[in-house]
């Protein structure tokens, strides 16, 4: 009885093999899916609300200033901790 259950479980998990006609059909379907993907991308890009030039420059300036400030903070902390560590270790 246990052997029958094992065989049934093995058969249920075994993937079915495709014949050559099905393989060719699925190969062509890949290109169809790729084409559909790009058509959908173009469709979605047309729906995007792009920022105006003024908004773009404002956002870019805000990001640039934030990056400069964060760089200064990290540099200051790194330099300060290096000096502190050198004093502690006596080098």
pLDDT in tens, 24-69: 566 678 888 999 999 999 999 999 999 999 999 999 999 999 999 9
Domain assignment of residue 61, yes or no? yes
| Domain-embedded: residue 55 | yes
DSSP, res 90: T
Q: Tell me the C-alpha distance between 27 and 74, whole Å.
A: 52
Confidence tier at 86 by pLDDT (50, 70, 90)? very high
Whether residue 57 lies inside any domain: the answer is yes
Confirm whether 62 is domain-assigned: yes
Decide if 23 contacts 16 (C-beta within 8 A): no
Query: Whole domain around residue 75: which residue ranges?
Result: 24-89
5 in a structural domain: no
Number of domains in the chain: 1
How far CA 43 is from CA of 29, 30, 32, 51, in Å, comes to 21, 20, 17, 18
Per-residue pLDDT at 20 exceeds 90: no
Contacts of 51 (CB under 8 A, 6+ apart): 59
Q: Is residue 8 a part of any domain in this protein?
A: no
Instruction: Assign 83 a pLDDT band (cuts: 50, 70, 90).
Output: very high
């Amino acid at each position: 009885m246990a052997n029958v259950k094992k065989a049934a479980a093995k058969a249920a998990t075994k993937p079915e093999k495709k014949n050559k006609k099905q393989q060719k059909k699925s190969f062509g379907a890949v290109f169809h899916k790729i084409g559909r993907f790009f058509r959908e991308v173009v469709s979605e890009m047309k729906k995007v609300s792009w920022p105006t030039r003024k908004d773009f420059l404002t956002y870019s300036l805000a990001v640039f200033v934030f990056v400069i400030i964060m760089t200064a903070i990290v540099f200051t902390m790194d330099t300060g901790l290096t000096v502190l560590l050198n004093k502690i270790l006596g080098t």
